[in-house]
Structure 1
Amino acid sequence: MPNRKNVKLPHSIHFNSGSWEALNTYLSTSGFSKVFVLTDENTNTHCLPIFQRNCTLKNFEVLSMKAGESHKTIDSCVTLWQQLSEKGADRKSLLINLGGGVVTDLGGFVAATFKRGIHCIHIPTSLLAMVDASVGGKNGVDLGSLKNQIGVIKQPDLVLVTTEFLKTLPEDHFISGLAEMLKHGLIHSEAYWQKVSNYDKHTGDDLDTLILESILIKHSVVSADPNEENLRKTLNYGHTLGHAIESYCLDHSERRALLHGEAIAIGMILATFISSVLLSFPKKKLEEISRVIFNYFPKQEFNRSDIENVIKLLIYDKKNTNGKVHFVLLEAIGSHKINCEVPNSLIYSAFEYYENF
């Protein structure tokens, strides 16, 4: 990849030093009637001051929601819709979503539906949101513990990625974002997989370059297939079982709720094992991928009952058609196959592999 200073970004995505200039230019020329900034409890404390320091517009109103996946609900949307209405928002208003994946997903949905759609900007503050949630125009909320069941696809006006915000991020949330970068490597190329695999989280060398490349990988996929008819499904690698695991843990108080990346990391190991059986994905690469993922994500325990319930949740996956559960699998790193059917017996074998690695 060329030096990031020479990379041409899509017109709607701005990176680091160019982000604040793009925001201030946009705000000064667009004539918005009102500007609102959505935060959660964490970004209100840690990220809003950075925004205020860099944004030349001082006349905006702050909206806040509770932090965490459990608040990514339609009830949170109703509260925000009511606040927007009470504060005089109209169709020429702008909502700036300052936060991680929950804030950008939910805030994008609120903006896309309020008065049939108002303008919005995403300023992702977590690694996960920078490389995944904020790019591509997917907006929505969970239905109970079921992930992203309600939503729309609508692109934000701008995505402003400023890696300064990563300094505010707890380490487990930072590592969670690496799961999506590893996924981008698996579906895109051996070269990018190796770069992320060899990233040293202690030195942080070249992190900005890796983030930018991950953004460009996702954007290229989304641009080719904006409505997820074909290629965009590959971005769900590891997510079929990963989302089911995430939902299962959210819905069972005796288990620790997993961060999105933690669940997807498990899903990628399971999907790669299944790929090795059904599509002859190389066994040595399966072992390499497993080692890399376990280096970042400690093993979780699942008993037979847990696995049975995870499998039951697969019927809610958004890629399914005609009642059939569809997986994204790999023939090799960078070579994928969509709409794969997987027998339950093989899913049990995949969990056995995960447990015994």
Structure 2
Amino acid sequence: MKTSVANKYDITFGPLTAEHFDWLHARNYAGWVVLVDTNTREHCLPLIEEYLDHDNLVFIECEPGETNKNLDTCQDIWTNMFEGGVGRRWCAICLGGGVLEDMSGFAASTFKRGIDFLQIPTTLLSQVDSSVGGKLGVDFYELKNSIGLFADPIAVWIDPTFLKTLPPREVRSGYAEIIKHALIADAEQWSQLQQITDLSLVDWTQIIPQSVNIKREIVLEDPFERGRRKALNFGHTIGHAIESFFLETDQRLFHGEAIAAGMIMEAKLATSFSRLSATDYGAIETYFLRIYGHQSIPESAFPELLGLMRQDKKNEDARINFTLLEAPGKAVINKTVPEADILAVLRYYNSLG
């Protein structure tokens, strides 16, 4: 069991065993509340069910997907917690991807002013991104993660075995965050990733710890996103807006697909508003299009996308704020870009299709 310390909790890499749950038993919780969605209940829960041997167990099942990451679902979680007799000395075990982790961690951290929670991420996206850093929350007012808080789990257990339960599109979505980590902080890893063309052949046991440690180091330096941690937002100013827009259509994009498009556009902006070279940009554009293809964005949606970007949490005034690249492995935060240039890069991206 390989362990990496992140703030006040452990991140472990490798197969889940009885040893993990012995550690949890030793904390003497009055009970465990296990949160799953309909997918993880069917495909992931059977992989650990033999270890869920506490005398007081409550299971809560949620509907999967970003459209259910809201306060209504949290209310259902809280109701089930109360009706199940969950108390302050219980621990919530969150078995799921990023949507469930964000939401169940938020629900646990606010229930009776907060109970402990443990994260067992089951998707590539959650293993390399949402399970690290203590950001929790739900979507509100058509904005991703606009209601939430910072709270750390007692531990994160990352088992790549769960990735075998995923369809290829889910794996590809999570891979976008791995690329992002390399682009903002590890030029050598970026060079290595560009050699990958078939995600079904990747040895995730090597790549996941490397990617997690990039984020862990950034979070340790800046836990509340007042400085360097903003680098993790590369691709997300435009990407989150695209994701939110398509969420309301019949062409819903996965998170990583939207962020991949956002990284293409924000890297293009960096050639004008930072110091990213045309050569480095070309490599970024080529690789993302190879892995993710292209998603045309209706020009009629551009005003709505700008409106969503203006509401972005990273903005400190009326201007739209970005993290941009200076070079692969080096990001610069708090770069504002005029709306005319954002519109121009949206049109440029559409021209690539």
Q: Would you call these one fold, judging by a TM-score over 0.5?
A: yes
From 193, 201, 208, the equivalent of 1:211 is: 208
Residue in 2 that maps onto 1:16: 14
From 179, 201, 205, the equivalent of 2:176 is: 179
Q: Which amino acid aligns with 2:102?
A: D
Note the C-alpha offset of 1:104: 0.4
Tell me, yes or no, if structure 1 residue 164 matches structure 2 residue 161. yes
In 2, Cα distance between equivalents of 1:27 and 1:124 = 17
Unaligned runs of 5+ in 2: none
Q: Which deviations, in whole Å up to 9, do the C-alpha atoms of 1:223-243 show, x marking residues without a partner? A: 110000001101010000100
Note the C-alpha offset of 1:7: 7.3
SS at match of 1:12: strand
Q: Is this contact kept in 2: 1:276–1:286, CA < 8 A?
A: yes
In 1, Cα distance between equivalents of 2:322 and 2:199 = 34
Change (3 A) 1:58 1:172: farther
Change (3 A) 1:303 1:137: same
Q: Is this contact kept in 1: 2:3–2:13, CA < 8 A?
A: no
Tell me, yes or no, if structure 1 residue 260 matches structure 2 residue 255. yes
Note the C-alpha offset of 1:135: 0.7
Tell me, yes or no, if structure 1 residue 92 matches structure 2 residue 92. no
Q: CA RMSD in A?
A: 1.7
Q: Which amino acid aligns with 2:346?
A: F
Residue in 1 that maps onto 2:192: 195
In 2, Cα distance between equivalents of 1:20 and 1:143 = 37
SS at match of 2:64: coil
Residue in 2 that maps onto 1:333: 328
Q: Which moved more, 1:210-219 or 1:20-29?
A: 20-29
Note the C-alpha offset of 1:55: 4.6
Change (3 A) 1:303 1:28: closer
In 2, Cα distance between equivalents of 1:320 and 1:20 = 43
Unaligned runs of 5+ in 1: none
From 296, 315, 318, the equivalent of 1:320 is: 315
Note the C-alpha offset of 1:303: 2.9
Q: Which moved more, 1:300-309 or 1:28-37?
A: 300-309
Q: Which amino acid aligns with 2:296?
A: E
From 38, 42, 47, the equivalent of 1:41 is: 38
In 1, Cα distance between equivalents of 2:52 and 2:59 = 14
Tell me, yes or no, if structure 1 residue 303 matches structure 2 residue 298. yes
Q: Which amino acid aligns with 1:36?
A: V
Change (3 A) 1:242 1:8: closer
Residue in 1 that maps onto 2:75: 78
Note the C-alpha offset of 1:330: 1.0
Q: Which moved more, 1:339-348 or 1:158-167?
A: 339-348
Query: Percent of aligned pairs with the same residue?
Result: 37
Q: Which moved more, 1:194-203 or 1:32-41?
A: 194-203
In 2, Cα distance between equivalents of 1:123 and 1:288 = 34
Note the C-alpha offset of 1:353: 2.5
In 2, Cα distance between equivalents of 1:202 and 1:28 = 37
Q: Which deviations, in whole Å up to 9, do the C-alpha atoms of 1:17-40 show, x marking residues without a partner? A: 3x4355313222111111011000
SS at match of 1:320: coil
Tell me, yes or no, if structure 1 residue 149 matches structure 2 residue 146. yes
Residue in 1 that maps onto 2:49: 52
Number of equivalenced pairs: 350
Q: Which moved more, 1:347-356 or 1:111-120?
A: 347-356
In 1, Cα distance between equivalents of 2:261 and 2:19 = 38
In 2, Cα distance between equivalents of 1:210 and 1:257 = 28
For residues 209-248 of structure 1, what are the structure 2 equivalents within 5 Å? 209-248=206-245
In 1, Cα distance between equivalents of 2:130 and 2:307 = 26
Q: Which deviations, in whole Å up to 9, do the C-alpha atoms of 1:282-329 show, x marking residues without a partner? A: 111111111111111121112321222111111111111122221101
Q: Which amino acid aligns with 2:14?
A: N
Residue in 2 that maps onto 1:129: 126
From 262, 269, 279, the equivalent of 2:274 is: 279
SS at match of 1:30: coil
Change (3 A) 1:334 1:90: same
Residue in 1 that maps onto 2:342: 347
For residues 113-128 of structure 1, what are the structure 2 equivalents within 5 Å? 113-128=110-125
In 2, Cα distance between equivalents of 1:190 and 1:62 = 43
Note the C-alpha offset of 1:87: 0.8
